[in-house]
Amino acid sequence: MTASTKKMPSKASPTRREPLSHERIELAALVLIDMEGLEGFSVRKLGEMLGCEAMSIYHHFHSKAHIIDALVDRLVSRVSIPSHDLDSVKRIRGLANGWRNMARQNPRFFPVLSLHRLNSEVGVTFLNEIMLTFRAAGLERERAARLFRVMNYYLMGAALDEISGYAKGPSSLNPISDGDLALKFPDIADAGEFFAPEQFDQTFELGLDLLMEGAGLLGPAQ
């Protein structure tokens, strides 16, 4: 309503803004989500950030859901793929850690990404890297397929839980007090020291090793 809400560059810099593009919109969206979280991510705020009317964005994306789709692809394609020259075990470790690192770098968006089916071209390309590695490790078709799923379950759950452990996730509005926890649930309270973020890497590696060992990938040759 007041003059301060008006944008000024219309006079100060008439034709200065570079034109909108998929890339500019997507990068701004990632910054906005990183700053304000998913609830704060609106097309209108995105427009403000880009220095245009919110509705201009619809000229480049059909809907907000299409923007989110593009962000999923963009982040999945950022996961670093280990060289095919490495042995299978090293490749699996590399893929797993690439996934976790991407999650950690995008804690506010990752939950959306992880609930998305990765059935775009980019998504399937990533999944295919995991599958290829399992096959290259010598697993036969059915076993590779099932272990692929098992590994994905583990990766997805670990990344989500670690993020919520970094306190970005929604907490109960009436959490149990530390005092009550120690009194009523001593075994949980007692384990607290192993639940701290500094322990995440070690715990994650333990689970990954158990799965790979169970899959027969960590043979005596190791």
Residues that bind DNA (CB under 7 A): 19-20, 40-45, 52-56, 58-60, 63-65
Least CB distance to DNA at residue 102 (A): 24
- Could you say which of DNA, a copy of itself, none residue 218 binds, taking C-beta under 5 to 8 angstroms by partner kind? none
Interaction between residue 196 and a copy of itself (CB under 8 A)? no
Collapsing DSSP to helix, strand or coil, 63 comes out as coil
**Close Cβ partners of 154 (under 8 Å, ≥ 6 residues apart):** 207, 208, 211
Helical ranges in the chain per DSSP H? 9-12, 22-36, 43-50, 64-76, 88-105, 110-115, 121-136, 141-165, 178-184, 186-191, 200-214
Nearest to 112 by CA among 58, 75, 154, 150: 75
Least CB distance to DNA at residue 209 (A): 42
Q: Pattern 127-146, binding to a copy of itself, x per CB under 8 A?
A: xx--xx--x-----xx-xxx
Residue 122 neighbours by CB distance under 10 Å: 15
62: tokens are 């059909």
Considering beta carbons, is residue 67 or 137 the nearer one to DNA?
A: 67
- Return residues touching a copy of itself (CB under 8 A): 65-66, 69, 72, 111, 114-121, 123-125, 127-128, 131-132, 135, 141-142, 144-150, 152-158, 160-161, 164, 169-176, 180-181, 184-185, 187-188, 190-191, 193-195, 199, 202-203, 206-207, 209-211, 213-215
